[in-house]
């Protein structure tokens, strides 16, 4: 009986642990953090919006105040042209899960500025600012970081980024010219990469050798003429390569390895629908948008026109160089090819 009673007490203890709700989070007093505002969302997350601060000094003054808890889920600052820098001391002792400073005048993130959140920070979003200074060498220290968004800033060279946890990297909207050797080789968890409008003229074959989980990439609006060695992973993998200068000779059977969902090649210079390049992709079930390319509708396209199943994998309505829709080509005209 004693054993049964002990088991009953143990089960009751587990039950009580499971049903006791987590402590409700609180915002600091509104008058203490003006012009910032704060709310606690339905997930019990404290969210701070400081979009109206007059600059770094005022933001630092607010962060130095005592909060009900130093743990703040997110900091949001948008459309603020007065905040020019995040100093090492700006965020004081506050610990964040997400930091979003977007579409403003931020020029530099100093070394150590976010290291107070080194074990908790999952998202750093500094899109569309004027950043030229950022502590890239600190990124490996963030043990929970999943997203790093730095698109639309003023970095001159493609940075080397190392992180065992990073899944989403956004570096669009720069004028990098090239991706240095090994720049992405230390990102084993990377799944999504945005490098569109990045001034890229080429992507070296070895660029993605270390990205063994990469599934989605956007390289549109560059000046790339070749795609080699792009290997995607996952059932929903896609490549967006619109508005480049990709030619038929710059493609091969290993250009789109592993893509299962979608390849978009809209507005390039592909003129030959090469079977070795495209058949593996289409037979793998991926959709292909090759609209607005100067495609020759001669015998080089016969393999596709004579296969209705693969024809159905074409997205939208690609046309021949003479404007004729590929879907309207008469298969009988290609039977002797």
- pLDDT value, residue 275: 96
All residues at 6 or more sequence positions from 321 whose CB lies less than 8 Å from its CB, including other chains: 271, 294, 295, 296, 297
178 is written with which tokens? 């090239």
- Tell me the average pLDDT across 251-267: 93
- pLDDT value, residue 76: 99
Above 60 in pLDDT, residue 56? yes
- pLDDT value, residue 22: 59
All residues at 6 or more sequence positions from 139 whose CB lies less than 8 Å from its CB, including other chains: 145, 148, 161, 162, 163, 166
Measured in degrees and rounded to the nearest 5, phi and psi for residue 75 equal -115, 125
Above 90 in pLDDT, residue 11? no
**What is the per-residue pLDDT across 190-209, written as a single tens digit (0 to 9) for each?**
999 999 999 999 888 788 88
- Tell me the average pLDDT across 314-329: 95
**What is the per-residue pLDDT across 17-55, written as a single tens digit (0 to 9) for each?**
444 455 778 999 999 999 999 999 999 999 999 999 999
Q: Give the mean pLDDT of the chain.
A: 92
Which of 36-50, 144-158, 221-235 shows the lowest per-residue confidence on average (mean pLDDT)? 221-235
**What are the extents of the domains in the chain?**
29-289
- pLDDT value, residue 3: 44
How many other C-beta atoms lie within 10 A of the C-beta of residue 100? 19
- Tell me the average pLDDT across 225-236: 88
Above 60 in pLDDT, residue 85? yes
- Tell me the average pLDDT across 142-154: 99
- pLDDT value, residue 12: 44
Which of 16-20, 210-214, 264-268, 315-319 shows the lowest per-residue confidence on average (mean pLDDT)? 16-20
All residues at 6 or more sequence positions from 74 whose CB lies less than 8 Å from its CB, including other chains: 45, 46, 47, 48, 96, 97, 98, 99, 100
Burial class (CB in 10 A: 0-12, 13-18, 19+), 58: middle
Which of 45-59, 117-131, 140-154, 243-257 shows the lowest per-residue confidence on average (mean pLDDT)? 243-257
Pairing verdict, β 37-40 and 46-49: antiparallel
What is the homologous superfamily of the domain 29-289 according to CATH? Ribonuclease Inhibitor (3.80.10.10)
CA 112 to the chain's CA centroid: 24
């Amino acid at each position: 009986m004693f054993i049964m009673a002990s088991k009953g007490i143990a089960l009751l203890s587990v039950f009580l642990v499971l049903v006791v709700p987590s402590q409700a989070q609180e915002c600091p007093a509104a008058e203490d953090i003006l012009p910032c505002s704060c709310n606690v969302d339905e997930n019990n997350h404290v969210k701070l919006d400081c979009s109206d601060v007059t600059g770094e000094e005022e933001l630092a003054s607010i962060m130095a105040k005592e909060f009900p808890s130093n743990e703040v889920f997110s900091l949001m600052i948008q459309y603020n042209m007065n905040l020019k820098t995040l100093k090492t001391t700006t965020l004081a002792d506050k610990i964040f899960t997400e930091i979003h400073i977007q579409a403003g005048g931020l020029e530099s993130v100093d070394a150590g500025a976010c290291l107070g959140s080194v074990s908790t920070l999952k998202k750093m979003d500094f899109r569309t600012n004027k950043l030229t200074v950022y502590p890239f060498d600190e990124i490996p220290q963030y043990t929970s970081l999943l997203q790093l968004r730095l698109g639309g800033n003023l970095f001159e060279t493609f940075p080397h980024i190392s992180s065992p946890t990073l899944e989403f990297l956004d570096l669009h909207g720069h004028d990098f010219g090239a991706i240095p050797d090994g720049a992405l080789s230390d990102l084993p968890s990377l799944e999504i990469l945005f490098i569109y409008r990045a001034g890229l003229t080429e992507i070296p074959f070895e660029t993605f050798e270390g990205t063994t989980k990469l599934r989605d990439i956007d390289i549109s609006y560059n000046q790339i003429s070749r795609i080699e060695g792009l290997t995607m992973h996952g059932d929903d993998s896609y490549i967006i390569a619109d508005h480049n200068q990709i030619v038929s000779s710059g493609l091969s059977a290993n250009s789109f390895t592993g893509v299962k969902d979608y390849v978009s090649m809209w507005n390039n210079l592909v003129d030959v629908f090469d079977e070795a390049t495209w058949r593996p992709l289409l037979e793998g079930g991926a959709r292909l948008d090759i609209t607005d390319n100067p495609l020759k509708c001669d015998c080089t396209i016969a393999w596709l026109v004579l296969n209705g199943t693969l024809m159905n994998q074409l997205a939208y309505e690609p046309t021949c160089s003479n404007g004729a829709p590929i879907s309207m080509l008469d298969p009988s005209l290609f039977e002797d090819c």
